Amino acid sequence: MKTILIVEDVELNRELLVQLLEDDYRLELAADGASALERAAEAKPDLILMDLSLPRMDGWEATRRLKADEALSRIPVIVLSAHAMRGDEERARASGCDDFLTKPIDETLLFDKIARHLGD
């Protein structure tokens, strides 16, 4: 079973993602960008779902640091953004994320993108 790291500061959103994914994936959780880097280094997840607005370190910066780390840079990062603004996607892409989803999350799209990036 592959491992997905969910990075989301709002508990309700985190729980929703857990409910959607827990049957098919092993899940790791982080509630801020700094913890996300720690969990990624420890758990070596196969994929990361990254919220953008996060305490301690935002999702853009956490993604940039993940992609600058040779040991972690190959992990696909799918950004989840509540900001449906064009600038956010461009900023996220510039930070090195592999894909982008806007909230509220479309479940079919979420599963499709995860499967594609995991090569399933």
Contact residues for Mg ion, defined by CB under 5 A: 9, 51, 53
Is the Cβ of residue 58 or residue 69 nearer to Mg ion in the bound state? 58
Backbone angles phi, psi at 51, to 5 degrees: -70, 160
CA-CA-CA-CA torsion sign (1, 60, 103, 35): positive
Q: How many residues in total does the chain contain? A: 120
CA-CA-CA-CA torsion sign (34, 114, 21, 107): positive
Nearest CA to 32 out of 47, 16, 52 is that of 52
CB 45, min distance to Mg ion, A: 19
- What is the spatial distance between Cα 66 and Cα 103, in angstroms, rounded to a whole number? 22
CB 36, min distance to Mg ion, A: 12
CB 71, min distance to Mg ion, A: 26
Question: Residue of minimal CB distance from Mg ion?
Answer: 53
Is the Cβ of residue 21 or residue 24 nearer to Mg ion in the bound state? 21
CB 51, min distance to Mg ion, A: 4
Is the Cβ of residue 10 or residue 72 nearer to Mg ion in the bound state? 10
Is the Cβ of residue 24 or residue 56 nearer to Mg ion in the bound state? 56
Nearest CA to 27 out of 54, 12, 8, 10 is that of 8
